[in-house]
Structure 1
Amino acid sequence: MPLLLPFTDHEVNTLLSPRSGEQKLGQTLSTFPCAFDDIASYVAALEQAKAQGIRFVIIGIGEDIGPRANLGRGGANDAFNASMAQFVNLQANRFLDGSQILIAGQLDTSAIHVGSDLNTDALRNAVEQLDELVIQALSPIFSAGLEPIVIGGGHNNAFGLLTAAKQATAKKVAAVNLDPHSDFRPREGRHSGNGFSYAAASGALGFYHVLGLHELKNSEQTFAQLEAFGGSWHSLQSIWVRQELSLNQALDEIVGMVKDSQLPVAIELDLDAITNMPSSAATAAGIPLLDALRYVYRLANETGAHYLHLAEGAPQCHAAGVDAGYREVGQSVSELIFAYIQGRNACQYLG
């Protein structure tokens, strides 16, 4: 079974809408030509990509096992496809060309596919298998000195990403998460709501801050666990409702804390933080997409960011139907990818 289902030139060309006199990102970025039979071939291909000037590796995780194991809705399995349909058709120009970008493909999760009728224990066991797959696929990307941009799946995949980053850097990771939920629920079996609490317990997580945390969407037990770990937060209400501080003031504080930690940085973003974004836990009381872009750009630009993780996008959960969901998730994720890449390319922070 291949580790990765490659996103080849054929897939890119299927999605492209070329126009005379224009050059699209899909015409300038790199892909893998085929699946890899073994890890050694995968590692060698990543190292070759690095040598050829690739910096960013876009990879998808097409699953909704984690949200379902957290008693939530499915649908987070198609964000990668929706996003690539939009991303490859953006213009390649002076602001961004595809020379640094490799679209690797999606993790092959077929061996851990579960039906909708499985009980919670079975789903949570499946998430543990998914964790191992994420670690296996992402560790070589980090080790090659590349920066993954991970799209799709539940926020459960933060655990595998943090673990892979720690293995590659031999350091704990500082994670900042734009999310109404802390995802620091009890370790009751793996699901999308406890990726960070499991990462803290395993030693992969060294610092954790939640931006946009909703004051009434987290249990008192979760708050207590987060505080016991030393985690911190700026709530949705403190910034966007009570206006006790501005978003930029909060980001100033976060950047300062992250720099003080002297750890590799993970930029996490749950798409359900954004107002009415199709996701497994969509919210009417969210933040504007432009503020999410500002968050990604500043963290990418001002810290030693190692990756961007965009979780929980679920096109099929759009109130107007799947086609509308594909457009909204695809356009939003594409803008977030652009914000991250621009921030990283302009970054002068060496920590």
Structure 2
Amino acid sequence: MYKSATKEYWKGRVDAHDGALGARWHQKVQLLDLSQPLPDADTGTVAFAFLGFCCDEGVRRNQGRTGAVAGPAALRSAMSSFAHHLPERVGLYDAGDVLCTNGNLEEAQEQLGKKVAALVQAGYRPLVLGGGHETAYGHFLGLEKATAQQRLGILNFDAHFDLRSYAQQASSGTPFLQIADRLQGQGRDFVYKVLGLQEYGNTAVLFQTAAELGVTYSLAETVQMHRLTQLQEELQAFLDEVDAVYTTIDMDVFAAAYAPGVSAVNVLGLQPEVVLALLRQVIQSGKLISLDVAELNPALDIDIRTAKLGAALLYEVVREWHHV
């Protein structure tokens, strides 16, 4: 099910006396209705489209703590009052939400894929707001056609591989195995890198699956600012072997002090600075095609901390990506 965009969460302070220089994001965001024919993004502009995926059915199936269904609303609210420093050629759009109804995860993922594909085809840069990490499979479906002739790399900032078996049912723990199988069924390579992995959060069978699939990864204990140069070299090797990159950020990759509002709290997680540095490298490569933020659970958040971090990451992505 699809719900068209509204200004419900785009509101906040208005400094009218400051004129254009006092603008904030909520005053600049334009609405898109993906249930209607989608106009192409204007030539010469950079158009970012926020698309929500209101779903945590995958988290429920994965025996996690539900609440990520409200993630898109929380991210919008946290972005709403950001100061606007973007040039006029950069547009911010809200493309509405894909909803998961009656527990039908598979249908919701198909819908998400169609909406992402429509945005890409019309020249928008999708920024998907999750939702549990089942978001990733639906997001990928939307990039499948656009990257059919390209070698696609998937970069996941995450404490978990999310390579669980989906023989019984798909969940938030299975999206990347689903993607691997789908790509390999098409004769395409599965190029997948995970940064921030926690050994204690992934069973031996998941490490075995990762090895069989040729997955590269860095444990959280190695993803630290004092190792940034080596991390950048390793990331560059990944970037050099692909034509396009889909990046996904699972908020449980961060230390609990920064991101308490997730299903699987991570006491030994990453600091935001190292993730930002690596994100900038991906963007500057010119190969990023789409990005999502997943697993924000507002019901478990403290002082809106996790939502604010997710929103700040999106701000930095827009700030950097509009130059490329």
Return the TM-score normalized by structure 2.
Answer: 0.88
C-alpha distance in 1 between matches for 2:49 and 2:180: 26
Once the two structures are superposed, the pairs formed by residues 36-185 of structure 1 within 5 Å of their partners are 38=35, 41-42=36-37, 44-45=38-39, 47=40, 49-51=41-43, 53-93=45-85, 99-109=90-100, 112-114=101-103, 126-170=104-148, 171-185=150-164
Residue 295 of structure 2 is aligned to residue 295 of structure 1: no
Out of 288, 302, 310, which is 1:333 matched to? 310
- Letter of the aligned partner of 1:289 in structure 2? P
Residue 285 of structure 1 deviates from its aligned partner by 1.1
Give 5+ residue unaligned stretches, structure 2: none
Distance change >3 Å, CA 205–CA 216, structure 1 → 2: farther
Out of 310, 313, 324, which is 2:293 matched to? 310
- Letter of the aligned partner of 1:165 in structure 2? L
Q: What per-residue deviation string (whole Å, max 9, x for no partner) do you get for residues 44-88 of structure 1?
A: 33x2x3448342111111111111111111011112111211212
Q: Is the 8 A contact 1:25 1:98 kept in 2?
A: no
Matched position secondary structure for 2:230: helix
C-alpha distance in 1 between matches for 2:42 and 2:61: 36
Distance change >3 Å, CA 155–CA 98, structure 1 → 2: farther
Q: Is the 8 A contact 2:196 2:218 kept in 1?
A: yes
Q: Residue 122 of structure 1 aligns with which residue? A: none
C-alpha distance in 1 between matches for 2:4 and 2:171: 26
- Letter of the aligned partner of 2:8 in structure 1? E
Residue 151 of structure 1 deviates from its aligned partner by 1.0
Task: Report the identity percentage.
Answer: 21
Residue 168 of structure 1 deviates from its aligned partner by 2.1
Q: Residue 30 of structure 1 aligns with which residue? A: 30
Distance change >3 Å, CA 97–CA 227, structure 1 → 2: farther
- Letter of the aligned partner of 2:61 in structure 1? A
Distance change >3 Å, CA 269–CA 205, structure 1 → 2: farther
C-alpha distance in 1 between matches for 2:287 and 2:174: 25
- Letter of the aligned partner of 1:16 in structure 2? G
C-alpha distance in 1 between matches for 2:238 and 2:317: 20
C-alpha distance in 2 between matches for 1:217 and 1:310: 20
C-alpha distance in 2 between matches for 1:303 and 1:223: 31
C-alpha distance in 1 between matches for 2:121 and 2:248: 20
Out of 173, 176, 180, which is 1:196 matched to? 176
Q: Residue 11 of structure 1 aligns with which residue? A: 8
Give 5+ residue unaligned stretches, structure 1: 115-125
- Letter of the aligned partner of 2:268 in structure 1? A
C-alpha distance in 2 between matches for 1:73 and 1:332: 20
Q: Residue 256 of structure 1 aligns with which residue? A: 237
RMSD of equivalent CA atoms: 2.2
Aligned residues: 311
Q: Is the 8 A contact 1:29 1:102 kept in 2?
A: yes
C-alpha distance in 2 between matches for 1:154 and 1:201: 21
Residue 12 of structure 1 deviates from its aligned partner by 5.4
Q: Is the 8 A contact 1:29 1:99 kept in 2?
A: no
- Letter of the aligned partner of 1:250 in structure 2? L
Q: Is the 8 A contact 1:83 1:333 kept in 2?
A: yes
Out of 314, 321, 324, which is 1:344 matched to? 321
Return the TM-score normalized by structure 1.
Answer: 0.82
